[in-house]
Structure 1
Amino acid sequence: MSYLLVCRLDQIAEAAVRHGAREMISLIAPGQNFHRPAVIDPERHLNLAVNDIAAETDGLVAPAMRHVERVIDFARNWDRASPLLIHCWFGISRSPAATIIASLALAPDQDDAAIARRMRAASPYVTPNPGIIAIGDELLGRSGRLIAAVEAMGRGAETSQGDIFRFDVTEAG
């Protein structure tokens, strides 16, 4: 079964090696440097410079249509031969939001409330970035259902950082 793998920045090498990931989406603040694990194909690494904010703020880069379009396009071109690794700084906001969007791009027949429940079951800590979710809702034609489902999911449990978790791509439910 194809699956998405979510983690924080300091876990990307461990996650990629342990799970055999060869493709990766990074959602990291502009100018933040990090080392791409050697097992990740440089041609299949999408590096998006975006801050963990929901709306425009002076000096920071808010998630925009162009960022979410690239997540959707990258996910749709994922070969599914190995897990797709998606990470951000702490693994609790940007990467879970991008994971939900990628999952819906791959399997659009999923129920929005069910995908939110699956995300919460996968990690008690996640609070998906509302800006990424709102843009994904629009781009994927969810008519507000995805926004409502993620809002109903509520804020994740307090933590300073998330942990590696698997998110299966399902065709429905």
Structure 2
Amino acid sequence: MESVSISLLTICGIEELPDHAERKVTHILSVLDPETPDPEAFSKFSPHERTILRFHDIIEDLPGQEMPRREHVEKVLAFGEELAKSCDLREDGHLLVHCHMGVSRSTASMIMLMAQAQPEISEDELFERLVAIRPQAWPNSVMIGYADDLLGRDGRFSEALRRHYGRQLKRDPHFATWMTEIGRKREVEMAIS
């Protein structure tokens, strides 16, 4: 994200947040379940700008859970716009995006921010860069679908996500079991179609 003076990108889960408290994080995007309390780890971070979004990491409607919606993705992209506007006010920055485990909502958010900041980069290259940041990345397909539309990627983002899932299954076949067990079988099927 050189165009917005962010030289360091980090993705993590809640349990990893204390490891980043001393790393001079300047901007944080928190994606939490609605019922999850605010992580105490942030009290140890130096002053930073933070945006909090709350929805569940699901891809199908489930009773009592909140699906990712278009408005959530719009808020992620609004965060990215504010980040870009503030680039003249700083020399450098460190963006940390986290969710519960640092696997799905946070990786979806980070890749859409990367795509927004560098629209000239191909979708497949964006996924390669994402894996370099967070090897276990399995972005939420609902979020990527909305981002595909909002960023004008005309289906290319979702198609690259399918290929990414396929590469992840080859790298770690355990993803198939794990994602199926948590109700994400449709994404596994995307990878093998």
TM-score normalised according to structure 2 size: 0.74
Greater mean alpha carbon deviation, residues 72-81 or residues 85-94:
72-81
Structure 1 Cα separation of the partners of residues 47 and 54 of structure 2: 19
Do structure 1's residue 24 and structure 2's residue 28 form an aligned pair? yes
Do structure 1's residue 126 and structure 2's residue 128 form an aligned pair? no
Query: 2:17 is matched by which residue type in structure 1?
Result: I
Where does residue 14 of structure 1 map in the other structure?
19
Where does residue 185 of structure 2 map in the other structure?
none
Q: What is the total number of aligned residue pairs between the two structures?
A: 158
Where does residue 76 of structure 2 map in the other structure?
71
Where does residue 188 of structure 2 map in the other structure?
none
Distance 1:30 1:101, change over 3 A: same
Structure 2, unpaired ranges of 5+: 179-193
Query: Helix, strand or coil for the counterpart of 2:153?
Result: coil
Larger Rg: 2
Structure with higher helix content: 2
Where does residue 57 of structure 1 map in the other structure?
62
Q: Deviations over 1:146-170 (max 9, x none)?
A: 001011011643489xxxxxxxxxx
Structure 1 Cα separation of the partners of residues 79 and 18 of structure 2: 20
- Structure with higher RCO (Cα < 8 A, 6+ apart): 1
Q: Percent identity?
A: 26
Contact 2:11–2:134 (Cα < 8 Å) also in 1: no
Distance 1:22 1:13, change over 3 A: farther
Where does residue 87 of structure 1 map in the other structure?
98
Shift, 1:91, TM fit: 0.5
